Structure formats: C-alpha cells, structure tokens
Amino acid sequence: MVFSTPIFLFYFLVLTLLAYYVVPRRFRNLVLLCASLLFYYWGEQTYVVIMFLSTAIDFTHGLLVERCKSRGNDRGARMAVASSILFNLALLFFFKYWDFIASSLQAAGLTFMPVLNIHLPIGISFYTFQTMSYTIDVYRGDARAQRSILNFGTFVTLFPQLIAGPIIKYKDLGDQIDSRDTSVEKFASGVQIFMVGMAKKVLIANNVGMLWDICKAMAPAELTVAGAWLGALAFSLQIYFDFSGYSDMATGLGRMLGFEFLPNFDHPYVSRSATEFWRRWHISLGTWFREYLYIPLGGSRVRPARRYLNLLIVWAATGIWHGASWNYLIWGLYFGLILVLEKKFVLRLLDGLPRWAGHLYTLFLVLVSWPIFAIEDFGHLTAYLKTMFGLGGAALADGSLVYYLTSYLPILAVAVLASTPLGVRLYHKLPQWTAQIAGAVLVLAGLTLCTAYLVDGTYNPFLYFRF
C-alpha cells in the first residue's frame, strides 16, 4: 500500500511542513487542503471525487440547517439534517455494504442484488462520520456553520487523520480550523508524539503481528490450546499498538501543524471491566456513537429494558462499522451483551472483588473477542475458538509453542509493559531537563530504528486502513 511507502511519506511530510510554514498564515489551510487531496489521490486516484462530493454536500447542508434555524423553521432544519445523514449513510452503504448484503442474499438463493465487486475507498468510515456529525452539531447549536468551503474542505480532508482516524467532530476542531497557534515548543512536542506512535507501529505492532499471522495460519490439527491463546495475545497487542500508534502519529502531526486532537486511547488493557475498557479504547468512535446514536435513542434515560436494547443496537452498529462481514456483527453483539450484563449486575460483583480479579476478568473477555474480530471465515473462526477452550481434541502445548514463545518473548514483554501507564508515569517523574534530554534521545533512537526497520522490512500492515 502506497501510504506505507517510507520514501513517499518522508518527502510528502517534509514538503508539506515546509510549504505550510513558508506561506503566510492566511494560505495555510489552502496548503493543507491541497496536500491532503494529493495524499488521498496518491492512494485512491479517482475516488478522490467522492471526497469532493461529500465536502460539497455537507458544506451546503450545514448552511441550509443554520439558515432554517435562524428563520425559526425547525422542520426545514431537521429535514436538512436528515438529508445529510441519508446521503452519508447511502455513500457508506454502497461502497462498504452493498457487496456484503448482495453476496449474503445470493447465498440464501435471492439474486435481485448483483455483486458489483466494489472497491472500498480508504478511510470512508472515518470521514463520512465526521461530515455527518457536522450538520448535527450545527442543528444542535454546538457549532456554527462554516462559511468558507476551503476551511470546511480542510476539516474533511485533514491528512494526519484522514484515512484511519481518530474521528474528529467539527465542534471540537472548528475553531482551530479557522485559527490556531504554532510554536517551536508545540512543534517539538508534536515530533516526539509522532515518533512514539511510529515506534509503536513499526517496532512493536509489526513484530507481534508476525506471531499472530503464524498462529492464525496453522491448521487446526497443528494449533495447540496454548498456541491459540498466544496468538490471541499477539493480535491484541498488534491491533492496540497499530491503531494507537497511528492515532499518536496523527496527534503528533496535528500538533506540528498547530492542531490539538483529543486522545483516542488511554491504556485500555489496565481496565477492570469491559465497560471501562471501552471508555479507554478508540475513544473517538465510542463518543461518536454515544452522542449521535445512543443518546438520541434515549440513552440511559429510559426504562432498563429499553436501555439494554439501545446498548445492543449501538454495539451492533459498532461491530458492523468495522467491516462488512458477519464476524464483526457477532463481535459487536458479543461486547453489547457483556456490557448489558455488566450494567445489570456484573459491575456490582466486580466492586466487591480485588482489583486483580477485575483485570483478569477483562483480559479474558478481550482476548476471546479478538479472534472473533480478526477471522472472517466462520469455519476457521469456530476451529480457532474451539482450540482456545480445549475442544476438539487439541493438545495443550507442543515443541513449536516453546520455540515461538522463546523467539517472541522479548518483544511480547516489551509490548505488555508498554501497554501500561508505567513508562509515562516514570517519564513525568523525571526533572524537566532530564525529561527533555531523555525525550530527544528517544526520538533520535526511535527515528534510527524505525528507518532501519522500514528500509529492511516488508511486513508493514495498517490494520485500520481497511475500515
């Protein structure tokens, strides 16, 4: 994939930052818009037209909503919001779900929907949610309609988070789109955050991801119970460092350009419940569904039965948002059911247990969930889950497990340690001058190691690009 080509990214970032800081402030959004469109065009070519269309539609709808509201025409404003939502959902449905539904219907003997073999545009799940929330925010009075299509286009296409998030709501970024401050200190901290994210992705996620690929590719007869759990652990670390690493890179790049993005991860693997886990994991998606789906459905203000139904609806949507496959829906409903049970009685039980019991409970549920998320083939998924629980005659362990565990133990240990807040806490306890020196040394070391790894390696997947 071209976005993971190091030479392209290096020259693109250097030239963009150079142009951004050379031009007068009033032209910086123009530089960002052009750079973002070039960045997206490099990966998607003609599909950049969809981005133009989405920008134009939602820009005009935002103005229409505000005009109707100012004239007291609430019905017209609601119709404009509904039109914007319908357009964005139709766009997402056609490109992401048409072939999935068509193939599912054909498997059931219904052929009225043809399979079109549609290519999924990179990042469409992210930028459609961002533009869809814009008109809702304008209607609610949480944001003012943007008068400049150039500025609005900058918001929609902002390249640091364009293709894999985090999902940024206009009400959180609108003022920064119009005006933002830059400084040497802010730029330097952005570089540091970016390098932390790159190290997460390149040095940790890529390496533990190879272990997951090995375990996933094993035939059911070869995979042991311990090997299946080791694979689930490897994928849990891969997806965390892959996505949180990209989020950090986006945050760092944004800060280099003067933007402040809200955090997207908060050490989720230290959670003591699934409820807490989902307050710490992919925070931007969780807040989006809470504000634009869960609360409009009634949220927690309704009777318990309806509240539990609302949770299941939200989690079904969360699951299918991640991909057009039945395993994502099952994964979403799996967590939806767990969260319902936690709200009903499990959280009260956990409060009476030691902290370590809550951690083990959460890690168990999360580790079981990741194979459901990662394996789309039902036969393969069923066999893998059976092996995890010792069903189907799988051996507990064998010699290959010892070999892989020994080979990957150092990177697994680093990944487990890095997934906790320990490193951050130690860093913040250092004296300021020591922290600055340590930060500079780590940035240079990270840059050297990541560059060497990218030049020499070929395994560099970005898991969330396909969502």
Per-residue model confidence (pLDDT) at position 458: 56
pLDDT beneath 70, residues of the chain: 1-8, 427-428, 433, 435-436, 438-439, 446-447, 451-467
CA nearest neighbour of 63 among 121, 130, 143 = 143
What DSSP character marks residue 164? T
Per-residue model confidence (pLDDT) at position 280: 95
For residues 58 and 169, what is the distance between their CA atoms, to the nearest angstrom?
13
Per-residue model confidence (pLDDT) at position 73: 92
Per-residue model confidence (pLDDT) at position 65: 94
- The residue from 61, 119, 267, 322 that is catalytic is 322
What are the boundaries of each domain within the chain?
2-180, 185-466
Q: How far is CA 252 from CA 34, 49, 192, 268, 436, in A?
A: 20, 28, 7, 20, 17
Strand boundaries in 218-321, DSSP class E: none
For residues 125 and 112, what is the distance between their CA atoms, to the nearest angstrom?
26
Q: 0.95 cut: is pTM over it?
A: no
Predicted confidence (pLDDT) per residue in 9-41, tens digit? 778 888 989 999 999 999 999 999 999 988 888
Q: Is 322 marked active-site? A: yes
Q: Looking at the chain, how many residues does it have?
A: 467
What DSSP character marks residue 274? H
For residues 53 and 84, what is the distance between their CA atoms, to the nearest angstrom?
12
Q: What is the CA radius of gyration of the chain?
A: 23
Per-residue model confidence (pLDDT) at position 1: 44
For residues 130 and 165, what is the distance between their CA atoms, to the nearest angstrom?
10
Per-residue model confidence (pLDDT) at position 454: 66
Predicted confidence (pLDDT) per residue in 82-121, tens digit? 999 999 999 999 999 998 999 989 888 888 888 888 888 8
